[in-house]
Amino acid sequence: MTPALELRGLNKSFHLKTKGGLFPRYTELKAVRDVNLVLPTNSIIGLVGESGSGKSTTGMLAMRLLEPTSGHIFVDGTDITKLDHVALKPFRRKMQVVFQDSYSALDPMMTLQQIVAEPLHIHNIGISSDQKTEALNMLERVGLDRRYGGRYSHELSGGQRQRVAIARALILKPSVLVADEPTSALDVSVKAQIINLLLDLQKERGLSILFISHDLSVVRALTDEVAVMCDGRIVERAATETIFTTPRHPYTRALLDAIPVLNPRNRRTRTFLTREQINKATPRLRSTELAEKCEPKVEPQLVPISPNHHVEAIVT
């Protein structure tokens, strides 16, 4: 079956000014390196990593909100990497995004109903009165009473604003939703509400969600599969429970080990590895140990150790 979204060999470099003046000097920062990711239809994939890991950049590349330096993006089997503005428009309908900070993402001068109906307006779907009704229905679906249609975003709480952002993203019935830390700014008691809403909507609409987060606990409850990013690379990719129960990459282990344990009885002293120690601990695997044949290489590469579990390793 064609995946809803596929990233193939995606790279993104930024050029940072390191010296100003008449003759500025730039250094290349490789934010995303050779990322391969498949988001099957009707599934939620978690993209996990710390700040600077490239997870948000990957999300922006997938949405073509940033142009990749090299690589390809496929949506429903079509390569959209080089499509121009006009050709891209039908695909924009299929891919929507929700950000962490919905406060700045919602126009303060528009009513909630206008905000939610705006994508319909942009894509010329239906007549104005239908757009209006549909927007109110959508608001109701995400748990906001129809009365909220006439209100403004500043009258809402963080959780309610995130509901509006989700309503706006889903009104076009997209097949792919990129959710970049949508619950990170929310209070604990509201976080669960938004996670449940995403789970319900995913099931109901057969959505495929790329869920970008640093919060591993949320990722565990929400996703089918997890890709762990570190320094712009995917270092491990597997079914969610595999990641949580049998992580193979030292960085994944370090991340999991850092999660606070919710039982004071199980307090312990942790030992922390530095980045260098983690890099040194990159697994070394013989090519015979792999699920598929791979060329031995000096540099680490992402290899399958079982059909559904990829890990970055040095193949000898």
Binding mask 67-106 toward another protein (x if CB under 8 A, else -) reads: ----------------------------------------
51 belongs to the binding site for another protein (CB under 8 A): yes
If the CB atoms of residues 245 and 316 are measured against another protein, the closer one turns out to be: 245
308 belongs to the binding site for another protein (CB under 8 A): no
CA atoms within 13 A on the CB side of 303: 24
Q: Residue 58's closest CA among 12, 2, 16?
A: 12
- Of 78-86, 94-102, 154-162, 170-178, the segment contacting another protein by CB under 8 A is 154-162
Quick check: 276 and 200 in contact, CB under 8 A? Answer: no
Binding mask 200-219 toward another protein (x if CB under 8 A, else -) reads: x-------------xxxxxx
- Of 54-62, 115-123, 133-141, 221-229, the segment contacting another protein by CB under 8 A is 221-229
155 belongs to the binding site for another protein (CB under 8 A): no
- Write down the least CB distance from residue 197 to another protein, Å: 9
Q: How far is CA 224 from CA 63, 68, 174, 199, 237, in A?
A: 21, 26, 19, 11, 11
189 belongs to the binding site for another protein (CB under 8 A): yes
- Write down the least CB distance from residue 221 to another protein, Å: 4
- Of 93-101, 117-125, 236-244, 308-316, the segment contacting another protein by CB under 8 A is 236-244
Number of residues that bind another protein (CB under 8 A): 51
What does the angle CA 94 – CA 99 – CA 102 come to, to the nearest 5 degrees?
Answer: 115
**End-to-end alpha carbon distance in the chain:** 34
d(CA 105, CA 99): 8
Sheet holding 70-75, edge to edge: 25-39, 5-19, 70-75, 78-79
- Of 58-66, 133-141, 241-249, 288-296, the segment contacting another protein by CB under 8 A is 241-249
d(CA 12, CA 35): 10
- Write down the least CB distance from residue 88 to another protein, Å: 29
DSSP letter string over 197-222?
HHHHHHHHHT-EEEEEES-HHHHHHH
254 belongs to the binding site for another protein (CB under 8 A): yes
- Of 65-73, 147-155, 195-203, 305-313, the segment contacting another protein by CB under 8 A is 195-203
28 belongs to the binding site for another protein (CB under 8 A): no
Among residues 61, 255, 302, 303, the one that binds another protein under rule CB under 8 A: 255
Q: Residue 117's closest CA among 159, 180, 176, 164?
A: 164
Buried b (16+ CB within 10 A) or exposed e, 82-111: ebeeeeeeebbbbbbbbbbbbbebbeeeeb
Q: Residue 153 gets which letter from DSSP?
A: G
- Write down the least CB distance from residue 241 to another protein, Å: 5
276 belongs to the binding site for another protein (CB under 8 A): no
Question: Which residues would be at the binding site for another protein (CB under 8 A)?
Answer: 16, 20-22, 44, 50-51, 157, 159-160, 187-193, 195-196, 199-200, 214-224, 240-241, 244-245, 254-255, 257-265, 267, 269-270, 272
